[in-house]
């Protein structure tokens, strides 16, 4: 089973972060029954002073190099990933995509309707590369901007409605789609370091959302056993 993480700045992480990818790797390493691999064309974190995705300074230096792989980018969204997902799935032979996208699109690039269309294109392109690909999608978690920008908050809510509809419309037995649940206890004041990007507790909660969806729907892996408050 070949997993690929797809996302924006919340997924790539910045220098010094553990990332929710790291938390998911820990979960798979202790709960997945069978061979698996994490795949993707990139391994870097984002180096904020240099304004480039070039850092390898993970919060845990022991994070294995082959588990750092991903397809995520600071400032990249559905708009950017849809055109490259077919070639990437084909090249990496990905079986399961864990996708967290949309916030950056709605904040800077496209409205909710166009963002939802880009998500549908992404799904079609991934399936063109692997007709049996499975995809788990996380709804947009509104960031601190939504507190003072009502139209932006409404766009986040509308996109999540459209994403849920897309999952319902496009789900197929041969290529199943899952909509992960937004962690009920996720709080931007506690679970992010800047109102957007997850800190350690937020990383655990995002990983748990994906892990829970796969376990409940597909029987993959165990329950996510790490309570965020118990871990760095």
The CATH number of residue 13's host domain is: 3.40.50.1110
Average pLDDT value over all residues in the chain: 95
What count of residues does the chain have?
Answer: 232
Question: Does some domain include residue 83?
Answer: yes
Per-residue pLDDT at 184: 83
Measured CA angle at 137 (ends 162, 199), to 5 deg: 115
Residue 225: pLDDT band with limits 50, 70, 90: confident
- Quick one: pLDDT at residue 123? 98
Provide CB contacts within 8 A for 95, sequence distance 6+. Answer: 1, 2, 3, 130, 132, 133, 134
pTM over 0.85: yes
Whether the predicted pLDDT of 124 surpasses 90: yes
The model's confidence at residue 232, banded by pLDDT at 50, 70 and 90, is low
The secondary structure of residue 100, as a DSSP letter, is E
232 lies in a domain? no
pLDDT for 29 equals 94
Of the candidates 80, 81, 79, 83, the one whose C-alpha atom is nearest the C-alpha of residue 98 is 81
Q: What is the pLDDT of residue 226?
A: 55
Q: Which domain holds residue 115?
A: 2-227
pLDDT digits (tens, 9 = 90+) for 36-75: 999 999 999 999 999 999 999 999 999 999 999 999 999 9
Asked if 42 and 33 touch (Cβ cutoff 8 Å), the reply is no
For the chain, the domain total comes to: 1
Report yes or no on 145 lying in a domain. Answer: yes
């Amino acid at each position: 089973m070949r997993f690929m993480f797809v996302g924006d700045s919340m997924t790539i992480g910045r220098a010094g972060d553990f990332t929710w990818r790291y938390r998911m790797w820990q979960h798979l390493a202790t709960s997945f029954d069978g061979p698996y691999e994490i795949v993707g064309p990139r391994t870097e974190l984002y180096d904020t002073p240099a304004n480039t995705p070039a850092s390898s300074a993970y919060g845990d230096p022991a994070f294995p190099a082959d588990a750092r792989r991903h397809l995520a980018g600071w400032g990249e969204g559905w708009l950017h990933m849809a055109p490259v997902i077919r070639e990437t799935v084909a090249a990496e032979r990905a079986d399961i995509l864990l996708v967290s996208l949309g916030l950056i699109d709605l904040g800077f690039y496209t409205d909710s309707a166009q963002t939802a269309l880009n998500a549908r294109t992404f799904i079609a392109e991934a399936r063109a590369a692997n007709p049996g690909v499975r995809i788990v999608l996380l709804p947009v978690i509104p960031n601190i901007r939504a507190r003072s920008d009502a139209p932006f908050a409404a766009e986040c809510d509308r996109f999540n409605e459209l994403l849920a509809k897309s999952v319902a419309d496009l789900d197929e037995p041969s290529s199943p789609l899952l909509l992960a649940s937004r962690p009920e206890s996720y709080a931007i004041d506690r679970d992010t370091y800047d109102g957007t990007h997850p800190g350690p507790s937020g990383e655990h909660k995002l990983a748990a959302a994906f892990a829970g969806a796969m376990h409940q729907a597909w029987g993959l892996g165990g329950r996510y056993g790490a309570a965020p408050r118990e871990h760095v």
